Amino acid sequence: MKELILKNVTGELSEIAGAITEGRRLSPAEALTLYRKADLSLMALLATTVKRRKSGDAVFFNRNFHIEPTNICTFNCRFCSYHKPEGDPESWELSESEMLDIVRRFDGIPVTEVHITGGVHPSRDIHYYAGILSSIRKLRPDISIKAFSAVELDYMIRKAGMTCSEGISLLKEHGLESIPGGGAEIFDPVLRRRICPEKADAETYLAIHEAAHNLGLSSNATMLYGHAESPEQRIDHMLRLRELQDRTGGFNAFIPLKFRRENNNMSELGEVQVTEDMRNYALSRIFLDNFSHIKAYWPAIGRNSAMMSLAFGADDLDGTIDDTTRIYSMAGSGENRPSLSTTELVAMIRSAGFRPVERDTNYRTVKEW
């Protein structure tokens, strides 16, 4: 494979490609050169080389569903199509009973994870959400609860006057097992002030994930790309995640999240082409050498692009979801009723030439298909 990759590559790209095939970590400068100068076919070959080193021919998915408690949010990020003010006809605020009804819809169905995230509600506090976790745990003690982005956690923990560790420990006692990666956006402080000035900053996001890891909880990491950020800002974002992963090893997966333009205040920026999506997946897989998995979140990029991403280093397609999320459909992703059966996910993975593996939240194998 090394000879095949290097055959038609010269100069500094040859040195970088050689380093990747030998398993050496890339510097940010090398990553930027690769991003700017490598053609898409070379990116695919290199990313697939790294992917196969990490997970062989396996591509993972799980049986999951989402609960989105509310889209009422104290913040108003410019890129967000989900946020609605209180009283808006498109806003919602699920009661505890309504949330538990979603859980009951899956009685007798072998789901392994519930994913809970939504707007940062101004009046719901950490004790309210701790109670929700306890109620879910009583109904379904067999499923893993992944809940609350770092931005949600920051707000509810500060409101309670707790430290990060105290707040996460309280939620862990009530059933929290892992946290999702949302809220990272782009870490660059200047750009962050432009697109989400009210939201927790990069240092807070990373501190919350580090506290969770130190308490034995796993998490995912994300990056919102394809809006006003530069390649340098993407690489800096991934570098900070890589450095935290060096310290804790607590991240399960990195998830590039594509900016979608509909119904938000950054619509004039448009959206990047699918070729840029693939280049970004490949760079993520190559640069984040200490992340075991790169996830293609299919409700964000669509099923066809998700299948294509498997040739650019991605090795996870998230899960079945079963029409329980509206975050990306409200932004115009094209997946208006996001739901896939296990049969469909298995077929997607096999069509790309990989081996489907059903997993749980922490990538333990549930079933090999």
By the 8 A CB rule, do 335 and 329 touch?
A: yes
CA distance 302 to 300: 6
Average confidence (pLDDT) over 246-255: 98
CA distance 344 to 208: 35
Please compute, for residue 236, the number of CA atoms within 13 A of its CA located in the half-sphere on the CB side: 13
Average confidence (pLDDT) over 173-194: 97
**Which pLDDT does position 269 carry in this prediction?**
86
- Domains annotated on the chain, with CATH: 1-38 (no CATH), 39-368 (3.20.20.70)
**Which pLDDT does position 335 carry in this prediction?**
47
By the 8 A CB rule, do 358 and 102 touch?
A: no
Residue 246 has pLDDT above 80, yes or no: yes
Average confidence (pLDDT) over 87-106: 92
Residue 292 has pLDDT above 50, yes or no: yes
How would you class 347 by CB atoms within 10 Å of its CB: exposed for 0-12, middle for 13-18, buried for 19 or more?
A: middle
The phi, psi pair for 308, rounded to 5°, reads -65, -35
What phi-psi label fits residue 323: left (phi over 0), alpha (psi between -120 and 50 degrees) or beta? left
Summarize pLDDT for 12-26 with one digit per residue, the tens. Answer: 899 999 999 999 999
Please compute, for residue 29, the number of CA atoms within 13 A of its CA located in the half-sphere on the CB side: 2
How does residue 8 score in pLDDT terms, banded at 50, 70 and 90?
Answer: low
CA distance 196 to 234: 16
Residue 329 has pLDDT above 50, yes or no: no
How does residue 362 score in pLDDT terms, banded at 50, 70 and 90?
Answer: very high
Average confidence (pLDDT) over 30-45: 97
Task: Give the least confident one: 142-146, 285-289, 298-302, 330-334.
Answer: 330-334
**Nearby residues of 56 by Cβ (< 8 Å), 6 or more positions away:** 355
**Which pLDDT does position 187 carry in this prediction?**
98
Q: Mean pLDDT of all residues in the chain?
A: 91
Closest CA to 288 of 362, 229, 235: 235
**Which pLDDT does position 6 carry in this prediction?**
61
**Which pLDDT does position 332 carry in this prediction?**
43
